[in-house]
């Protein structure tokens, strides 16, 4: 009663050079941007200063594969939004969406508490 609540919000037709497109927004907010092709989608994502997540909605498996490998973000959704349901699920932002040396979830969190050892042997 004394706080704030923002209902899930979908912002359609967000311009690529608009303030919303250049701001990292957390919360139940989805900004939809239309692009002409997969190369334009990847260029749009990669020129952004933040790299937390991006989603691609497509019917093309080839476009999904290209986006998966070329988009410079830590979390990618193909035909779904991106979620982090449990602590061991990797949720790793890139670029200005990340601060520090290790990500607090996923493999980095486990490796932080793990001593690694490499043994190289040769028997004659």
Domain definitions of the chain by residue range = 51-123
Q: Are the C-beta atoms of 106 and 90 separated by less than 8 Å? A: yes
Position of tokens 């002409």? Answer: 36
Query: Across the chain, what does the average pLDDT equal?
Result: 80
> Confidence band (pLDDT; 50, 70, 90) for 69?
very high
The CA–CA distances, whole Å, from 109 to 51, 54, 96, 101, 106 equal 19, 23, 20, 11, 6
Higher pLDDT, 60 or 118: 60
> Confidence band (pLDDT; 50, 70, 90) for 111?
confident
0.85 surpassed by pTM: no
Residue 45 phi/psi, 5-degree rounding, is -65, -45
Q: Around Cβ 48, how many Cβ atoms within 10 Å?
A: 19
| Whole-number pLDDT of residue 24 | 81
């Amino acid at each position: 009663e004394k706080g704030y609540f923002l209902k899930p919000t979908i912002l359609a037709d967000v311009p690529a050079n608009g303030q919303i497109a250049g701001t990292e927004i957390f919360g139940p907010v989805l900004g939809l941007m239309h692009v002409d092709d997969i190369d334009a989608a990847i260029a749009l994502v990669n020129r952004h200063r933040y790299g937390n997540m991006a989603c691609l909605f497509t019917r093309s498996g080839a476009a999904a594969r290209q986006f998966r490998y070329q988009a410079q973000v830590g979390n990618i959704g193909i035909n779904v939004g991106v979620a982090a349901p449990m602590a061991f699920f990797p949720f790793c932002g890139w670029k200005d969406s990340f601060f520090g040396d290790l990500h607090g979830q996923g493999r980095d969190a486990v490796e932080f508490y793990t001593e690694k050892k490499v043994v190289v042997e040769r028997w004659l």
